[in-house]
A and B are shown apart, each in its own frame.
Chain A
Amino acid sequence: MALGLRDRIADRALGRLARAVGDDAARWVQSVGLERAASLVARALGERRGEGGGFEPWQRATLGALQHTMCRYDAVDAPLPEAASIGALEAALDFASHMPPDKRGQLADLLVLFEAGPYALGPRRARFTRLSDEERDAYALAWQDARVPVVRGAFGALKSVCMMGYWSRPATWGAIEYELFDGEHPPLGEEE
């Protein structure tokens, strides 16, 4: 896919940033702090970072793409729906909206780094949302199995939001035979 002028500028800026950061992107984030790192990376991306605990549309797209990667169950022999078809992203965003502004801000900052991370971590210099499904799988695995614990932790935080959004949708419950059980007993202590 041909890149537009804005994308080419972002591509060069991110390339420069990735070279400046060197091999150890996680250490760089730890040394400058998540907020500052996200601010610099967002600027290089040519995007707004998302202030005040809010998510910019492009960050929502990143979360949606990550959720698609995590909940891509088409190889599973069961009627598990596509995340995008059941409002899973909206549910994940709604779940995150109840976090305090600081925590939402951290999540938004993690999405900045996740979107730009392929420039530093591979598999190729492109934004996460522009990778193929297979490339996204490989990139997500790199976060999940990262040598640096805090990267694994960041991935875990993103994963829990994605999974809550997907598996809390009733459309997924039939495949796992889950239901909102009412209880099968008379009220304890009142039957005696």
Chain B
Amino acid sequence: MGMKPSASVGDGGVVRAAVVVVGLGAGGPMAFPVWACAGRDVVALELGDAMGPGEMTRREEEMLPRLFMEGASRATEDLAIRVLQGKGVGGSTLHNTNLCKPLPREIVEWWANDWGLEDLLDPQLDADFADVMNLLGVHEVPDDRINRNNALIARGVEALGWRGGRLMHNRQGCRGSGFCELGCPNNGKQNASKVLIPKAIRSGGRVLTGARAERVLVERGRAAGVRAAIVDPHTGREKGTFEVRADRVVVAASATNSAALLRASDVPDPLRLMGTNLHLHPGAYVAGVFDEDVRSWEGVPQAQECTEFLKLGPGDGPRAWIVSGAAHPGAVAGLMPGFGAQHGRDMLLYKNLAILIVMLHDESSGRVAPGRGEGVHISYSLSRGDWAQLAMGMNEAARILLAAGAREVVLPGAPPRRLATMAELDARKLGARDVAPHAPSLVAVHPMSTLWMGADPRRSVVDPRGEHHRMPGLFVADGSLFPTSIGGPPQIPIYTFGRRVARAVMG
């Protein structure tokens, strides 16, 4: 069958398989070829469509609705944080900026000690990370691909003598067009849709697109399949429902959609854990205005980081991950403070802006509940401590930009602060009370932790292998698994845990 629209099954249709996987982002596709190559009859369901490089038009207004859940309008209930999550065959790996980091050792030890995940201390985890990074061709971004934005940020971090450096990416065929976030037009990403899914299909795996999972089917206390809506990927219109009957159900639809799916199903949850513990890595941007042209939208967007203010393990410490960023004009204009004449003057400086994103390794947590259609309800508020961390991170990001030679930095608080010197920054830096919902605008691209793993069924949703504590045959294979925020890019950890869950499913 290969890959087909779910409409091919027909309203009321039934598909049978050994394994059904819901969601083709990073975790599901890493597991998908494992089963297919082992001869298991596996069917994968994906809400979005399959898109090739030729369909990546580089136009924001066209690609954002195609590549992101809810037409790129997903947000927390109070609208304070936009939550950008991918859809389509490849999920968020279609639009991410290819950042690759294995799970930090501090996080592994934290989880081992506090959630009974001692297995993670086994060398097998390191071997799994190495295998996954090798498979995806992960390498440091080479010197000749460092654009002006990233070069300036490296200069600022170095001038301050702070921890940080070059990031690793999974790219091959990249021409440096800078359209990573809108889908690569040059097929330059070693992502799920390029590396993993074709291999699974060649080995007999089946994919149904335009399939929105509505419920996990349960029989005699075991997961028995999935009921899904047949959805037109372009209009979102429903055209009926169908079922996939399978002995194993693997949910890999992201920390929001997987949790919402399980909560909408008859999956036992006596302690009401499912959907709680949501972490987001909410991020705010800080811009520096340079005399020279920066043109941050051209070239590899995110290649430099600063980890000076990032303590990853448990306990007190700074929790701000500072990383370079870029966006195209429609998104930048939406995030930039104000409107009218001052906004227009700021937009004229677009080519002179270097941009840093301050992403929180968040202690705050929220919850997810099912919504209508592809919608989910996301409740999440930053703790007082996280607001303080955000303010601190924004101040230090501004310092990096000034150290790199910015003639002015813009801290988008309420009102935005425009500062020209280190002395001015020290005198007028942001405090926790100077930042609040909607000032600055926050964006989150890393939801995680809503169906987290652990040894104790009273304190976790799934076991260390990824199988639900109270529902045999139901597995989780996405960022929902993480017991805490991980403080860095999640794609490699999600891919890797997808592979580990694949092994558990195989028994």
Q: Which residues of A contact B (CB under 8 A)?
A: 69-76, 78, 80, 91, 94-96, 98-103, 107, 137, 140, 144-145, 149-150, 152-157, 159-160, 163-168, 172-173, 175-178, 180-190
B326 to chain A, nearest CB (A): 11
* Cα–Cα distance between A83 and B470 once the two chains are bound (Å): 56
Instruction: List chain B residues, Cβ under 8 A from A163.
Output: 330, 333-334
Whole-angstrom distance between the Cβ of B79 and the nearest chain A Cβ: 3
Provide the residues of chain B in CB contact with A167, threshold 8 Å. Answer: 329-330, 332-333, 347
Assess A144 versus B339: contact at CB under 8 Å? Given A103-B71, A149-B80, A152-B437.
yes
- In the complex, the answer to whether B58 meets A172 with C-beta atoms within 8 Å is no
| The residue from A145, A164, A189 contacting B331, defined by CB atoms under 8 A apart | A164
CB-CB under 8 A from A181, the residues of chain B are 177-179, 297-298
Contact bitstring B308-342, A, C-beta under 8 A = 1, else 0: 00000000000000000000111111100011110
A46 to B60 Cα, complex, angstroms: 36
Tell whether B75 is near chain A: CB-to-CB under 8 Å: yes
> Is there contact, CB below 8 Å, between B61 and A91?
yes
Could you pull out 19 A-B pairs where Cβ atoms are within 8 angstroms? A69-B339, A74-B341, A95-B65, A100-B373, A101-B236, A149-B436, A153-B75, A153-B80, A159-B339, A163-B334, A164-B61, A165-B61, A173-B329, A175-B347, A180-B59, A181-B297, A185-B176, A187-B172, A188-B142
Q: 20 more A-B contacts (CB under 8 A) besides A96-B71, A168-B61, A190-B173?
A: A75-B340, A91-B61, A99-B71, A101-B236, A137-B340, A144-B338, A149-B436, A149-B437, A153-B78, A157-B73, A160-B334, A164-B61, A164-B334, A167-B330, A168-B59, A173-B329, A176-B329, A177-B293, A187-B186, A189-B171
Main secondary structure on A side of the interface with B:
helix
Contact yes or no, B351 A176, CB < 8 A: yes
Q: Is the CB of B65 within 8 A of A98?
A: yes
Mark each residue of chain B from 339 to 350: 1 if its CB lies under 8 Å from any CB of chain A, else 0. Answer: 111011101101
Q: Which B residues contact A (CB, under 8 angstroms)?
A: 58-61, 64-66, 70-71, 73, 75, 78-80, 82, 137, 142, 144-145, 171-179, 186, 188, 236, 293, 295, 297-299, 328-334, 338-341, 343-345, 347-348, 350-351, 371-375, 414, 436-439, 441
* Residues in B whose Cβ lies below 8 Å from that of A149: 78, 80, 436-438
Contact B172 A189 (CB under 8 A): yes
Considering the complex, give the chain A residue whose CB is closest to the CB of B415.
Answer: A145
Alpha-carbon distance between A188 and B65 when the two chains are bound, in angstroms:
28
CB of A52 to closest CB in B, whole Å: 12
A178 touching B341 in the complex, CB below 8 Å, given contacts A149-B437, A187-B188 = no
Determine whether the beta carbon of B438 is less than 8 Å from that of A73: no
How far is the CB of B483 from the nearest CB of chain A, in Å?
29
* B188 A103 Cβ-Cβ under 8 A: no
Tell which of B71, B174, B329, B350 touches A98, judged by Cβ atoms closer than 8 Å: B71
Alpha-carbon distance A182/B188, docked complex (angstroms): 12
Instruction: Please classify the interface of chain B as helix (H, G, I), strand (E, B), loop, or mixed, using the class held by over half of its residues.
Output: loop
B373 & A102 in contact (Cβ 8 Å cutoff): yes
- Please name the residue on chain B nearest to A80 by beta carbon: B344
A188/B173 in contact, CB under 8 A: yes
Q: Which of A78, A168, A186, A190: most chain B CB closer than 10 A?
A: A168
| Bound: A173/B332 CA distance, A | 13
Closest B residue by C-beta to A187: B173
Residues B144 and A185 in contact, CB atoms below 8 Å apart: yes
Complex Cα spacing A185 to B374, Å: 39
- Inter-chain CA distance A167–B339, complex, in Å, is 13
Contact of A76 among B174, B176, B345, B414 (CB under 8 A): B345
Partner of A154 from B79, B236, B330 at Cβ < 8 Å:
B79
Contacts of B436 in A (CB 8 A): 149
CB distance from B171 to the nearest CB of A (A): 5
Pair A102/B372 contact, Cβ less than 8 Å: yes
> Are A99 and B73 interface neighbours, CB within 8 A?
yes
Nearest CB in chain B: distance from A31 CB, A:
15
Query: What residues on A are CB-neighbors of B298 within 8 Å?
Result: 181
Q: Does A176 lie within 8 Å of B350, measured CB to CB?
A: yes
Complex CA gap A70/B332 in Å reads: 14
Contact B79 A150 (CB under 8 A): yes
* Contact yes or no, A103 B175, CB < 8 A: no
Residues of B within 8 A of A145 (CB): 414
CB-based nearest B residue for A70: B339
B345 to chain A, nearest CB (A): 6
The CA-CA distance from A67 to B330 in the complex, in Å, is 13
In the complex, what distance in Å separates the CA atom of A188 from the CA atom of B340? 41
Chain B residues near A177 (CB-CB < 8 A) = 293, 295, 350-351
User: A157, B61: Cβ atoms under 8 Å?
Assistant: no
| A189 vs B170: C-alpha distance when bound (angstroms) | 11
Indicate if the CB atoms of B339 and A140 lie closer than 8 Å: yes
Which 4 residue pairs of A and B lie closest in terms of their CB atoms, listed nearest first?
A: A153-B79, A183-B175, A98-B65, A73-B344
Interface centre among A157, A166, A188 (most CB of B within 10 A): A188
- Expressed in whole angstroms, the minimum distance between the Cβ of B169 and any Cβ of chain A is 9
Which residues of A are found within 8 Å of B330, using beta-carbon distances?
163-164, 166-168
Contact of B61 among A69, A94, A155, A156 (CB under 8 A): A94
CA distance A3 to B75 in the complex (A): 40
Q: How far is the CB of B132 from chain A (nearest CB, A)?
A: 18
A95 near B188 with CB under 8 A, answer no
Q: Are B438 and A156 in contact (CB under 8 A)?
A: yes
Q: How far is the CA of A190 from the CA of B172 in the complex (A)?
A: 8
Q: Measured between C-beta atoms, what is the minimum distance from B90 to chain A in Å?
A: 19
Q: How far is the CA of A69 from the CA of B374 in the complex (A)?
A: 32
Are A178 and B351 in contact, CB atoms less than 8 angstroms apart?
Answer: yes
Given contacts A76-B344, A76-B345, A149-B438, contact A103 B334 (CB under 8 A): no
Pick the contact of B171: A95, A137, A188 (CB < 8 A).
A188
Chain B residues in 8 Å Cβ range of A99 = 65, 70-71, 73
Residues on the A chain within 8 Å of B144, using CB: 185
Complex interface: chain A residues within 8 A of B334 (CB): 156, 159-160, 163-164
Given A153-B78, A156-B79, are A187 and B339 also a contact pair (CB < 8 Å)? no
| Cα distance A167–B179 in the bound complex, in angstroms | 16
Min distance, Cβ B300 to any Cβ of chain A, angstroms: 9
Contact B60 A164 (CB under 8 A): yes
